Structures are given as structure tokens and as C-alpha cells.
Amino acid sequence: MGKLVLGLAVACAVGSCAIAAVMVGRRVRSRRRWWSVVRALDEFEEAASTPVGRLRQVVDAMAVEMHAGLASEGGSKLKMLLTFVDNLPDGSESGIYYALHVGGTNFRILRIQLGGQRSILGHDVERKPIPQHLMTRTSEEFFDFIALSLKEFVERKGNNLQPSQVRGNDLGFTFSFPVKQTSVSSGTLIKWTKGFAIDDMVEKDVVECLQKALSRRGLDMNVAALVNDSVGTLAVGHFYDKDTVAAVVIGTGTNACYLERADAIIKCQGLLTTSGGMVINMEWGNFWSSHLPRTSYDMDLDAESQNPNDQGFEKMISGMYLGDIVRRVICKMSLASDIFGPFSSKLSTRFVLSTPLMAAMHEDDSPDLSEVAKILEETLDIYVVPLKIRKLVVKICDVVTRRAARLAAAGIVGILKKIGRDGTGGITSGRIKGVRSGKLRRTVVAVEGGLYTSYTIFREYLNEAVAEILGEEIAPYVILKVMEDGAGIGAAMLAASNSARSVDTVQVL
Ligand code: BGC
């Protein structure tokens, strides 16, 4: 009997030891997996880091590339496109104008009433999603949809106009893609960006396509200004504040434009403008420099994109891509460990995690990060994630957003450097002058796009980085101003200042 009890006791002890050993083994393995994930995050953070020294290299590279793009056609990845906008609105414009803004996932139709003296008396906007299938079909289908939407809008909003208020049927058209302009109201599409792929449109005159669709719909309207969204934003910025010299868009895509001296546009010898200057659409989304902190996730995203080797800066900064970079990091971590539970196939789906969802996780301020848990569950099929893993997800969002905002800030300071507003004296013949010889002047940069206007952390990182790069002596002279709906309103203002004819009423035939 005694032997039996002893035997049982020994067996139990051996069993417990074995269980304990398995548990300890599991815990060690799981801790090792956790540390491998932490290491992966550290490596990512290091590769994506943007210390001020690196940002200053990006600033210099941007200024040098701008110079090269102005020197010769194809001289740089920065296209530095002419816009034929030589005079920006000054606030004296008056009358009622319509505008169309096509650019991202939504398009907008606007009607604004300008009252002179820098005032906007009325402002109607309608936002409509562009049906996904139209983004890759024919130009005729695409423009028919736009023309029909405009016609319905004009019919709804135009009825109660006093004839004296209407300045005619001039329309401002904001088309937020790279266009080679041939005048202020014509230009051909160079290429699509942001997931659009209507092949028969490339190299076609954008205004001609819209104008034909308008007449198919019996709409008597005349496109008086064709503008990039960055140019529209600059126009509205200047309307309110004449110190506005540049504009930046950070939304689905990203871009910037600024006012350049005509004689600095070397590739266009003999360019004469009444003001002596012209707005240049930089198409900075395509900027590239070896100083950009590129990670393996960026390379994969680029290789799998519709436009590999193109829009490199945009792919690190804009709303179309940030969520997808975060998804890629989570996907890699989930493949290498079980910290997110069993692997979810959703993690392999491109663009399943949109940037607004990523921003919502980043800005989740609940103590248990319940929003993060909800989004992981509803969007990525990742269930029951402990708090420590939710915090890790927030950290990934932070690394991606911080890099994007700081690179955009470096881009902005690059423009200021090119035009001598960064306090260093700018650049001459591609060489950077080191001395602080520039006279300090109040300088306003108009900013539009959801990342800056609606994503607080992004905006704070960007503002902070601009001040950090410029230093405390110069920073107070540089003001970033939000221009909500600026792209569309600015196009209507440019239609006002460029309108060649003056007709009294809007006619819908
Ligand atoms: C386009 C630009 C546009 C920017 C912001 C980019 O993808 O190439 O023309 O201004 O997006 O919408």
C-alpha cells in the first residue's frame, strides 16, 4: 500500500514537472515571439526614421530637383508643369461661378457667389463618390457621369438666381492629375495616379472631353479655367491673403504648387507674363531622392502598385497609401508570430485597411483602446487582441504617420528654400548656399486635403517638423493655413478672373 502511494506521488510529481516544463517552454517561446515582433517594430522604426538632419537633406534635394525640373523638360522626376496662371485672385472678383473638382474617391460640384472685397457671399458644395467601375472604364462614360451630375446640380441650385447675380456660364474645372497645360483652359493628361486607369484618356485634352460631355447633356457651360487642385488651393489662399506663395494638397494623393519668377523657368525661354511670374504645378508626388527613408514595406507596396517606380513620395505620404503600409507591417508580424492569433487572410488584401481607419486607431484615446480592437476585428478579422498588442498597432500607425507628415514638411521647406523664403538665401544653379542671407518676409502656405485638415496628429507632426527644420528664428514667419474645399473654390475664382466672356444667365437647355 505504502509503495503504491509512493508510486502515485512520484508519478504526480513527474507529471506536474512535465506540465510545468511545457508551460514554461510555451511561455519562453511566446516571449521569444513577442521579442521578435518588438525587434521587427524597432527595425521598422529605425528604417522609417526622420531625424532633422535627414529632413534637411530632403529639403536640399527637393530644392535642387525643382531647379532641374525647371531647367529642362524631363530634367527631373519633378515635372514642374506650367499652369498658365500668372495672376492669382486678389479678392476683387464678383459674380456666381460653378466649379467641378475631380481628383480622388469623391468628386465635388460647387457654386460660389463672390462679392468683391475678399468676400464669398454664398457657397454650395455637393460631394459624390465616383463609382469604382468608372475609374477604369472609358473617358466617355466617366465624363458623362460628371456632366449629368453637374446638370442635376445646376437645375437644383440655379433656379432662384437673380439674373444680375449670375456672371455667365463659366466653369472652373479642378482636375487633380498631372496635366500638360497648353493654356489656362486646356491641357492633356500625362498619366493617371491614385488608382485611376481610364486608358483612352491619356494624352487627350481633358477640357475637350468634358466640354463634349456637357454638350451631350445639353449643358451650355464653358470651361474658363482648368486647374490642378494645388493651384486651386493657392488661388483661394491668395484671395484671402496676398502673402500666400505656395499650396500643398495632402489627401488621397499629394502635390504642391508655388509662384515662380518667369525668368527662372529656364525650359520655357522667352516666357512673358503680365505679372512676371507663373504658378508651377510641381507634381511633387513623383519626387524621389536617395535620402528618403524607404523600407521594405514601401518597396513591396510600390512593386504591387498600378504605377511601379512612379509617385514614390506620394506613396510614403498620402491617404491612398498610409493605411496599406500599416496593413503590410501587421501582416508581416502576424506571419512571423501568433501575437495576432491565427493568420487572417484579410491581412493579405491590398487596401483593406483604409487611411481613415488607420487614423481612427491612431487617435483612439480610450483607456482600453477599444476602437483599435473594433477595427482589427471588423476590418481585419483579428479577434481578442490583448492591450499590449493594441498598443503595438497604435505604435505602427504612429511610425507611418510621423514619417509621412515630416517628409511633407521637408517638401514644404524645400519649396521655401527654392524661392528664398527659408532664410538661407535659396539655391543658385543647383548649388545650395549655406549662409543665412535671405530677408525675412511673412510667407503663407495654403494647405488642403483630409490628412492635414482632419487628422490632428498628422497636422501636429507636420507643423512641428516645419518649425524644427526652419529653426526658431525663421519659423514664426512661415504660416500654414488650412483651405477647406480650396481646390474647388479656387477653380471658380480662377474661372472668374479668366472668364473671357460675360453672359448674364446660366442656361440649361
Ligand atoms: C496627382 C496630382 C494631385 C495630387 C493631389 C496626385 O496623385 O498627380 O496632380 O494634385 O494627387 O490630389
Query: What is the rounded distance in angstroms from the CA atom of residue 101 to the CA atom of residue 173?
Result: 6
Q: How far is the CA of 159 from the centre of ligand 1 (A)?
A: 34
- From 175, 177, 234, give the residue whose CB has the most ligand 1 atoms within 8 Å, as the site to mutate: 177
Report the nearest-CA residue for atom 3 of ligand 1: 176
CA distances from 326 to 55, 238, 252, 297, 398 (A): 22, 36, 16, 9, 9
pLDDT value of residue 161: 54
pLDDT value of residue 25: 54
Q: Work out the pLDDT band at 9, boundaries 50, 70, 90.
A: low
Task: Say if ligand 1 is within 6 A of residue 174 CB.
Answer: no
pLDDT value of residue 417: 97
Q: How far is the CA of 264 from the centre of ligand 1 (A)?
A: 24
CA angle 486, 491, 496 (to 5 degrees): 125
For residue 444, list its beta bridge partners: 244, 479
CA dihedral sign of residues 456, 460, 462, 463: positive
* pLDDT surpasses 70 at 253: yes
The helix-helix angle for 456-470 and 387-418 (nearest 10°) equals 40
Q: What is the 3-state secondary structure (H, E, C) of 399-431?
A: HHHHHHHHHHHHHHHHHHHHCCCCCCCCEECCE
Atom of ligand 1 nearest to the CA of 250: 5
pLDDT value of residue 166: 44
* pLDDT surpasses 80 at 68: yes
Task: Say if ligand 1 is within 6 A of residue 233 CB.
Answer: no
Beta strand 166-175 with 222-227 is parallel
Task: Say if ligand 1 is within 6 A of residue 177 CB.
Answer: yes
Closest CA to 189 of 205, 213, 172, 212: 205
Name the percent of the chain lying above pLDDT 90.
74
Task: Say if ligand 1 is within 6 A of residue 79 CB.
Answer: no
Q: How many CB atoms lie within 10 A of CB 68?
A: 18
Q: Work out the pLDDT band at 500, boundaries 50, 70, 90.
A: very low
Q: How far is the CA of 190 from the centre of ligand 1 (A)?
A: 12
pLDDT value of residue 185: 94
Q: Which tops the pLDDT comparison, 276 or 3?
A: 276
Atom of ligand 1 nearest to the CA of 179: 9
Residue 196 CA to its chain's centroid (Å): 15
Q: How far is the CA of 318 from the centre of ligand 1 (A)?
A: 10
Q: How many CB atoms lie within 10 A of CB 212?
A: 16
Query: What is the rounded distance in angstroms from the CA atom of residue 486 to the CA atom of residue 237?
Result: 8
* pLDDT surpasses 90 at 73: yes
What is the reported pTM? 0.90
Residue 295 three-state SS: coil
pLDDT value of residue 508: 21
pLDDT, tens digit, for every residue of 91-107?
Answer: 998 888 999 999 887 89
Mean pLDDT (whole number) for 353-374: 98
Query: What is the rounded distance in angstroms from the CA atom of residue 241 to the CA atom of residue 246?
Result: 12
pLDDT value of residue 26: 54
Strands (E), 55-178: 81-82, 94-102, 106-115, 120-129, 166-175
| Radius of gyration in angstroms for the set of CA atoms belonging to the chain, rounded to a whole number | 27
Helix (H) or strand (E) holding 278: strand 277-281
Q: Work out the pLDDT band at 248, boundaries 50, 70, 90.
A: very high
Q: Work out the pLDDT band at 378, boundaries 50, 70, 90.
A: very high
CB 69 within 8 A of CB 78: yes
pLDDT value of residue 270: 78
Task: Say if ligand 1 is within 6 A of residue 422 CB.
Answer: no
Q: What is the largest CA-CA distance in the chain?
A: 114
Residue 9 three-state SS: helix
* pLDDT surpasses 70 at 495: yes
pLDDT value of residue 35: 86
Atom of ligand 1 nearest to the CA of 253: 11
* pLDDT surpasses 80 at 421: yes
* pLDDT surpasses 80 at 22: no
Cell digits of residue 277: 511670374
Q: Work out the pLDDT band at 20, boundaries 50, 70, 90.
A: low
Task: Say if ligand 1 is within 6 A of residue 234 CB.
Answer: no
Catalytic residues: 108, 176, 229
Q: Work out the pLDDT band at 184, boundaries 50, 70, 90.
A: very high
Which distant-in-sequence residues (6+ apart) come within 8 Å of 425 by Cβ? Answer: 433, 435, 436, 437, 438
Name the percent of the chain lying above pLDDT 70.
87
Task: Say if ligand 1 is within 6 A of residue 285 CB.
Answer: yes
Q: What phi, psi does 351 have (nearest 5°)?
A: 65, 10
pLDDT, tens digit, for every residue of 303-337?
Answer: 999 999 999 999 999 999 999 999 999 999 999 89
* pLDDT surpasses 60 at 427: no
CB 313 within 8 A of CB 411: yes
Burial per residue of 400-425, b for 16 or more beta-carbon CB atoms within 10 angstroms, e otherwise: bbbbbbbbbbbbbbbbbbbbbbbbbb
Q: How many CB atoms lie within 10 A of CB 288?
A: 17
* pLDDT surpasses 50 at 383: yes
